[in-house]
Amino acid sequence: MTFLRKANGVTLVELVIVIGIIAFASTIATISFRSWVIKYNVEAQTREIYNDLNRARSNAFQQKKIHSVIFQPSGYVMKTYSSQSEPTAAGQTVLRKTGLKYGLTMKSGAALNADISDYGPTYDIRGYDALGNFTLIVNPYDAGSAVNCIVISKSRVNLGRINGATCEFR
């Protein structure tokens, strides 16, 4: 009479299969998490720029001083000027410098311009931007963010999401 013994452990094949499944699942989770983080950061940066533009606009008419937001390749600078009529380098005060994690693209009319150095809105004492009518796009614009563009017109700032060639307001 032969006695069959019951195995109490796992085989090497079973162990390798379980490790493979865990590795596959963690790879998918890492990729999803990374894209979620990029999406969140693009939204956060877009909202921060939007809030700073609105702050500069409202401060201009509340304080009766010209305010500007000047974009540079790696960030932007918020400035105020002592003169009510003409911004000059001598009368400027830097309020805040902000670095950007993601790059910006400027769209003026139908043209996209990747270089937005030393360009941005300057709000007069009524809160109006003399230039106006351009769009800032936070890159990567295809990250699936809920908001990733800002339309700056003469009298308002709108937040939206890029869809094709236009920024749809939210």
Q: How far apart are CA 143 and CA 132, in angstroms?
A: 27
pLDDT in tens, 60-110: 989 999 999 998 878 899 999 987 666 667 778 889 999 999 988 888 765
pTM of the model: 0.78
Considering the domain boundaries, does residue 1 fall inside one? no
Per the model's pLDDT, the better-predicted residue between 1 and 170 turns out to be: 170
Domain of residue 51 covers 12-169
Domain count, the chain: 1
Residue 6 pLDDT: 64
Q: What is the mean pLDDT of the segment spanning 45-73?
A: 92
CB 66 within 8 A of CB 95: no
Residue 7 pLDDT: 61
Task: Specify the DSSP class assigned to residue 164.
Answer: T
Q: What Rg do the C-alpha atoms of the chain give, in angstroms?
A: 26
Nearest to 57 by CA among 147, 121, 5: 121
CATH code, domain with 123: 3.55.40.10
Considering the domain boundaries, does residue 6 fall inside one? no
Cα within 13 Å of Cα(65), Cβ side = 17
